[in-house]
Amino acid sequence: MGTMFEPYIIIKFFHIVMAGIWLGTDMGVYSAAKKLRDPNLTIETRASMGNLSGILDMGPRSALVILLMLGITLTFLGGWGFNASYGSNLGLLAFIAGLAWLAGIWHQYWVDHPNLGEERPHKHIQFQNIFRKLDLFLRVIITGILFVVASLSLTGNGPIEAYWLSIKLILFSAIIACGIGIRLYIPQAREAIADIFKNGSSPEREGKLSLNRRISLFFVKSIWVLVAVIIWISVAKF
């Protein structure tokens, strides 16, 4: 019992830490992005805020994948679900797939943020053109799987045995869905910002960026609320 219990406590600790990192860095992204969209600031200052927003955004992007990896492991070790013979294999598969996914996400950041005056090799850009589509596809598939598994478990026909965990998974699937929504608007935001940086600020260009900000902000604040509710559920375990 002791050998099973200790890894569970350690993994649970990191699970909580990652949730905190997610919320903290996401709020940092919000603050930096707000400055990025401020027409009263100089182009240089707004560009700096854009760079800061980009690196801070790696916090929630990485945390989502890591929380999925840790969550599957915790579910198995804690006896909350996946108790059949495939449980340990599922945890190992999630760990390997998660590391590969994380590597792709960080490679994406490297490709998208070259040093001043530097261009990334074409083969890396080509890889990211494929990975972006795969990344979005994975998020859509995982959202659906989590929702279906949790819903079936609530009726007693799924692999999750804890009611509170099933609710938590449904909320987590909603978080991933919000992230998909944000990613659908990222290209438009980048296009609007690049237009301002290249051609200067104007009411029309700022208005386009502002509209994108309002839509993205809805998804961002929804994620904050959902993460807070998930943390509460994890503590309450009603």
Task: Note the pLDDT tens digit of each residue in 2-34.
Answer: 444 578 888 888 888 888 888 889 889 888 888
Amino acid (one-letter) located at 197: F
- For 64, the token pair is 């989502």
Instruction: Provide the pLDDT for residue 237.
Output: 67
Q: 50-70 pLDDT, tens per residue?
A: 888 889 999 999 999 999 999
The overall pTM is greater than 0.85: no
Q: 190 pLDDT exceeds 60? A: yes
Dihedral sign of CA atoms 18, 24, 26, 28 in order = negative
Instruction: Provide the pLDDT for residue 6.
Output: 78
Amino acid (one-letter) located at 95: F
Cβ atoms of 103 and 135 within 8 Å: the answer is no
Q: How long a stretch of residues is the chain?
A: 238
Q: 212 pLDDT exceeds 50? A: yes
Cβ atoms of 223 and 178 within 8 Å: the answer is yes
Q: 1 pLDDT exceeds 50? A: no
Q: How confident is the model at residue 202 (pLDDT cuts 50, 70, 90)?
A: confident
